[in-house]
Chain A
């Protein structure tokens, strides 16, 4: 098969090159469509359903909204699980679907159900699905701010409310149109409202009730179309116009007539522009601000969308009033560009190094260029493959690409061709006929095609176990494995098609093949060393074994780390205050915090979002602030040599001086992922389901104390349930009845006084603002005086509220969490120095014995141990299978199990160098390093393959063992050195890089470089020795019969 293709490629060499052009064109076209981002998207398939319920306490929200939404969604196809939280004024249900579910399909299903759910919800409550975005969605943030001197039309300076109005009605509609944007989410300022603030005494005076006031406003604020009449053939539309337009209009609404005296709104209430009761606020550098976040539609190219948003923002600027400006705060383009730059720089430098090495070792510029041409071709083919398989380009997916690896196959072919052509030229003079040349190229390629194809195939196969990773790790490493495999496979195809074709086409005329001085030098050293090694074979083998043993011991001493965090360049910082802190208090504290942050010269700007934004993509209580620190480029820092980690440390120390805040440092994208994925991340999570919140806490505490008695337990804790203070106004039914009132009268009154009653809209052109009846701030904020306020009774008299209701302070949970349709509480624990399985078993047993759960309460065991167990199961199958496949390939290549095993010995030798390199650079063992080891095993096998196949060939030709080994090994020195050098040099830029994303690539590159050095040196020496040991025990005849 391969030989047939090889033959075809050489004969149809022109066509082959034409195909290269097609691949180039295809690659370039696909490049336009390739989604590019900085990091892989690790969000699961989820849909958030947010329901705003102004005024609802957590318990009401849960009971009257969350429960209905959740149960309404149960039984959806492909549903993985649901979880929910109910807070003040917000119900958020997150529906997670099985991996691979189409998001739009999922949303459609939910939409269908929401229709029927809506009917059951209290009137005016609308559940809404969150934006169609993932954790990478928040690509652009901006603020709307005003000059200090700028004045509104009414002569007042712009305040946060005016800016919010400009944002909502001028900026947002324009930005929402940008292609690829799914949502513009605003936070900060206040929504403008028209407030009617009744004076209780005046209401009493005129005998006006809250209800009467709200009815009056509602019934006197409408336009009505009334059809048309035909009058002398002319059609005349009929319309009644009574919409309220200004504050005066509202003031003049008539509430009642009393003996001919007209009582207007203004007689009983003040009317003014007022502020909403906000759940979120924003600030920038210590000042109140309005911040908008542009969210990208799932699957879009974040760089191009962010660029489009940036352009649009520049377009919007002229449409804003004078003195008001829109300022970009966070732009994903910056990070993506930095990440792309890193990858580009690494790839280009790597490619140049590879070309240089090829030229230096082959001594033929054409051959070097042909080999190097595989790099861009493979790259373009990879891009096409990535677009087809929907893999996005990012630091992870492109991070493991090494051009050295890609060209390995081509190097071997080109090297052999050039050697044979040169030999031929030496023998036959300068001229070779075209037929002769083609024949030589064919046979030279054919000679090495099997080892190189098998080698590349094996490297490809070792990446396959990466696909068994699931969850977040899967999402991070699948793209990487996919990209590498695509690149290797396409390079492999080029190796036996384009490369021989190009060699046949371009390597004509005089072949300059200068044994470069390096190779000559290497050979003069290598030959005696090899001979000496063959003599002292047992010493060599045993020292190799000792070395391997030592390095694995060293490996066990290395620190371990998870995936190194991608440095996003910016800092996101949670500033947390005690539960129950109000939004204004939190803002005051935040302003002080931001002023402090701005004292650091490393900081370009700081802005923050406190509480929950308009669209509750991140439902935060008002005591928590997401603070974003945009840092200056490192070279503008006071000390450019310090790292971001140093700065974070310094910052943390400085900020701890500010009272009342607790901090958590993270990064913008990382934070968003954490918010979206959230779930139990401890080793063991015991979920307790049930009805009564107090009972849940009691039982969970029992579980916790039982858990603490088990050996190996660490950081066991109960999920934090914060209590927040609440002021209750509970009706006294008898008292109410005595005065002719009922519960709903009292509750309606309370709502009007405290949160306000929405009684219609005021239209200002397109803009629409709510009319709210709410008692004046002075009255509603004085809770101690609330009981003394009069409530009007049906007979026109009044009664103080405390007469008909019990007023008291108590606490409620700040949020109620549910999962799969039931209230739940989680006890989490990590496990140290003990295997998870037995721990969980013991825990289950003990909890069953010691904890007495009431009927209707049940436990569920979860946590990462589950994933670990299933991953272990998968890996125990997949890893041996992979090994077996590799061995089979080797056996197929050599028709000998012994040879296959000899080649396999190169793997531990290669790992040795990798571990030493990590140890030398003081790097921990991370998942990236592990990927490096995987690549390394492949390269080591390839090396051995090349060497062994030649020795074997010689052996068959000459029949003399020692000579064949020495000769074969010496002849193969050049390709082995070359493949090793290109593979390791290709990784050198990555290993030394300090740019964005380098932290992922550095360990990988370090491992590969170290491993290749050791594996090359050792395969050159140990492999021939092993070969000799194995084969000297057998008669030559045996090996011949073997073949």
Chain B
């Protein structure tokens, strides 16, 4: 990769040939003079110039005050002294955008998966109080029934009186086990269910256990619909499963939450009101520290920060940044890349 290097050998070799040929012994020519690499020398120049260039901001010529890396002085304590200078034009061209650091909320979330199950109180097996012969049936599968509506008329074996069996609550007939003329025999005759209210039964795995508590807000969704709810209660799983169950009520007036549907739930486990938040894209890693870039005039300085809570878009800054500072929010990778570019090589 290094230019010219291939041809290092021959000169010394030829010097030798010439020397021997002519019997002269003292002509030595250093073969080392061609070693310098373009970018090496260039690099050192840049570091020298970097500081001065801060004073030249007024130049109209974008080339003059364009971009250079700078060390303020020979401090050993790290990267705080290094910065990148970019003219407005070049920053725009490279898609570098900034925002002003402000406060905001960080919503920490846990993701749970589960199924829609029916509310145990919403399914009723309709039975006859006194066994007998079924005389009439007024409801069929799929029918809506109102509370108190007569569903079945039974002739009691004991009294031979006809009595009606009424709907315990409004709902829909989802199963019918009886027909006219049959004996009731204490069996379930109709199943009425009311799915206006269903439950999301969510699996809480051990690692999530600490985060999930009742009353937490949760957004539950299938691939089609979404609903805000809250965790009602947690129970251990009954069937020796390695997870606990969290239940959450879902209003299902629209019937878009079929029993058995898989759902995903985003539980808000923690809502932090932070003094300073920055977008995730602003955060970079530089020399082992977490940094954001602060824009001061045309200089971009890396600033070590301590981060706290984070959600899918924003990160809380606990230390290192104060409100009102201008932070690079987009393409900050470019600035890290520029600070570290001397490391960029190409070895085959």
B271 at the interface (CB under 8 A from A): no
Q: Is there contact, CB below 8 Å, between B17 and A930?
A: yes
B242 at the interface (CB under 8 A from A): yes
Query: Number of residue pairs across A and B with beta carbons under 8 Å?
Result: 233
B47 at the interface (CB under 8 A from A): no
B interface footprint on A195-215 (CB within 8 Å = 1, 0 otherwise): 000010110110000000000
- What chain A residues lie within 8 Å of B346 (beta carbons)? 574, 576, 620, 624, 664
- What chain B residues lie within 8 Å of A152 (beta carbons)? none
In Å, the complex CA distance between A864 and B10 comes to 10
Name the residue on A nearest B338 (C-beta): A659
Name the residue on A nearest B12 (C-beta): A868
A830 at the interface (CB under 8 A from B): yes
- Contacting B9 at CB < 8 Å: which of A473, A589, A738? A473
A799 and B337 in contact, given A620-B346, A624-B346 (Cβ under 8 angstroms): no
A739 at the interface (CB under 8 A from B): yes
Of B29, B86, B222, most buried by chain A (CB within 10 Å of CB) is B29
B273 at the interface (CB under 8 A from A): no
A interface footprint on B100-113 (CB within 8 Å = 1, 0 otherwise): 00000000001101
Q: Is there contact, CB below 8 Å, between A560 and B30?
A: yes
- What chain A residues lie within 8 Å of B337 (beta carbons)? 577-578, 581, 589, 659-661
Q: Is there contact, CB below 8 Å, between B348 and A556?
A: no
- What chain B residues lie within 8 Å of A803 (beta carbons)? 205-207
A545 at the interface (CB under 8 A from B): no
B187 at the interface (CB under 8 A from A): no
Q: Is there contact, CB below 8 Å, between B335 and A576?
A: no
In Å, the complex CA distance between A561 and B15 comes to 11
Q: Is there contact, CB below 8 Å, between B348 and A560?
A: no
In Å, the complex CA distance between A558 and B11 comes to 12
Which chain A residues (724-753) contact chain B, with CB distance < 8 Å?
A: 738-739
In Å, the complex CA distance between A933 and B16 comes to 13
- What chain B residues lie within 8 Å of A715 (beta carbons)? 35
In Å, the complex CA distance between A720 and B340 comes to 14
Interface size of B in residues (CB-CB distance below 8 Å): 81
Q: Is there contact, CB below 8 Å, between B17 and A202?
A: no
B20 at the interface (CB under 8 A from A): yes
Q: Is there contact, CB below 8 Å, between A556 and B29?
A: yes
Q: Is there contact, CB below 8 Å, between A681 and B2?
A: yes
CB distance from B345 to the nearest CB of A (A): 5
Which chain A residues (775-815) contact chain B, with CB distance < 8 Å?
A: 782, 784-785, 788, 790, 797-800, 802-803
Beyond contacts A556-B28, A560-B29, A663-B39: 8 other A-B pairs, Cβ-Cβ < 8 A, are: A472-B9, A473-B9, A562-B11, A563-B7, A578-B344, A677-B6, A868-B9, A875-B17
- What chain A residues lie within 8 Å of B223 (beta carbons)? 199, 201-202, 205
A560 and B11 in contact, given A652-B42, A872-B16 (Cβ under 8 angstroms): yes
In Å, the complex CA distance between A585 and B342 comes to 18
Interchain residue pairs with CB less than 8 A apart (6): A556-B27, A560-B11, A868-B12, A879-B21, A907-B22, A925-B11
B interface footprint on A577-598 (CB within 8 Å = 1, 0 otherwise): 1110100010011001001000
In Å, the complex CA distance between A592 and B93 comes to 7
Q: Is there contact, CB below 8 Å, between A657 and B14?
A: no
B3 at the interface (CB under 8 A from A): yes
Q: Is there contact, CB below 8 Å, between A652 and B20?
A: no
A760 at the interface (CB under 8 A from B): no
- What chain A residues lie within 8 Å of B222 (beta carbons)? 201, 205
B336 at the interface (CB under 8 A from A): yes
- What chain A residues lie within 8 Å of B342 (beta carbons)? 662
- What chain B residues lie within 8 Å of A664 (beta carbons)? 1, 3, 37-39, 346
- What chain A residues lie within 8 Å of B34 (beta carbons)? 560-562
A657 and B39 in contact, given A201-B222, A879-B20 (Cβ under 8 angstroms): no
Q: Is there contact, CB below 8 Å, between B242 and A670?
A: no
Q: Is there contact, CB below 8 Å, between B94 and A563?
A: no
- What chain A residues lie within 8 Å of B29 (beta carbons)? 556, 558, 560, 925
Q: Is there contact, CB below 8 Å, between B14 and A930?
A: yes
Q: Is there contact, CB below 8 Å, between A785 and B111?
A: yes
Q: Is there contact, CB below 8 Å, between B344 and A577?
A: yes
A201 and B39 in contact, given A654-B63, A656-B46, A937-B21 (Cβ under 8 angstroms): no
CB distance from B238 to the nearest CB of A (A): 14
Of A659, A673, A682, A907, most buried by chain B (CB within 10 Å of CB) is A659
Q: Is there contact, CB below 8 Å, between A864 and B27?
A: no
In Å, the complex CA distance between A457 and B241 comes to 97
A589 and B20 in contact, given A574-B346, A677-B6, A868-B12 (Cβ under 8 angstroms): no
A150 at the interface (CB under 8 A from B): no
- What chain A residues lie within 8 Å of B18 (beta carbons)? 930, 933
Which chain B residues (92-139) contact chain A, with CB distance < 8 Å?
A: 93-95, 110-111, 113
- Contacting A585 at CB < 8 Å: which of B9, B30, B333, B340? B333
- Contacting A204 at CB < 8 Å: which of B12, B46, B113, B242? B113
CB distance from B117 to the nearest CB of A (A): 14
B84 at the interface (CB under 8 A from A): yes
- What chain A residues lie within 8 Å of B205 (beta carbons)? 799-800, 803
CB distance from A831 to the nearest CB of B (A): 8
Q: Is there contact, CB below 8 Å, between A473 and B7?
A: yes
- What chain A residues lie within 8 Å of B66 (beta carbons)? 657
A574 and B1 in contact, given A473-B13, A657-B90 (Cβ under 8 angstroms): yes
- What chain A residues lie within 8 Å of B68 (beta carbons)? 656
- What chain A residues lie within 8 Å of B242 (beta carbons)? 738-739
- What chain B residues lie within 8 Å of A875 (beta carbons)? 13, 16-17, 20
B interface footprint on A830-847 (CB within 8 Å = 1, 0 otherwise): 101100000000000000
- Contacting B344 at CB < 8 Å: which of A579, A659, A798? A579
Q: Is there contact, CB below 8 Å, between B10 and A562?
A: yes
Name the residue on B nearest A202 (C-beta): B223
Q: Is there contact, CB below 8 Å, between B39 and A465?
A: no
- What chain A residues lie within 8 Å of B24 (beta carbons)? 552
In Å, the complex CA distance between A664 and B40 comes to 10
CB distance from A648 to the nearest CB of B (A): 8
A678 and B348 in contact, given A561-B34, A657-B90 (Cβ under 8 angstroms): yes
A559 at the interface (CB under 8 A from B): yes
- Contacting B30 at CB < 8 Å: which of A552, A619, A832? A832
B interface footprint on A613-625 (CB within 8 Å = 1, 0 otherwise): 0000001100110
- Which 6 A-B residue pairings sit nearest by Cβ, starting from the closest? A562-B7, A660-B337, A657-B66, A205-B262, A576-B344, A659-B338
- Contacting A659 at CB < 8 Å: which of B1, B4, B32, B335? B335
B172 at the interface (CB under 8 A from A): no
In Å, the complex CA distance between A830 and B63 comes to 37
A1001 at the interface (CB under 8 A from B): no
B interface footprint on A872-898 (CB within 8 Å = 1, 0 otherwise): 100110011011000000000000000
B interface footprint on A819-830 (CB within 8 Å = 1, 0 otherwise): 000000000001
In Å, the complex CA distance between A540 and B205 comes to 105
- What chain B residues lie within 8 Å of A722 (beta carbons)? 343, 345
- What chain B residues lie within 8 Å of A660 (beta carbons)? 94, 334-335, 337-338, 341
Which chain A residues (425-484) contact chain B, with CB distance < 8 Å?
A: 465, 469, 471-473, 477
Which chain A residues (927-972) contact chain B, with CB distance < 8 Å?
A: 927, 930, 933, 937
Name the residue on A nearest B29 (C-beta): A560
- Contacting B113 at CB < 8 Å: which of A471, A714, A719, A790? A790
- Contacting B343 at CB < 8 Å: which of A579, A670, A864? A579
CB distance from B55 to the nearest CB of A (A): 17
- What chain A residues lie within 8 Å of B219 (beta carbons)? none
- Contacting B32 at CB < 8 Å: which of A576, A654, A790, A830? A830
B67 at the interface (CB under 8 A from A): yes
A911 at the interface (CB under 8 A from B): yes
In Å, the complex CA distance between A832 and B8 comes to 13
In Å, the complex CA distance between A601 and B223 comes to 56
CB distance from A391 to the nearest CB of B (A): 19
B261 at the interface (CB under 8 A from A): yes
A770 at the interface (CB under 8 A from B): no
In Å, the complex CA distance between A908 and B66 comes to 56
Q: Is there contact, CB below 8 Å, between A201 and B3?
A: no
- What chain A residues lie within 8 Å of B158 (beta carbons)? none
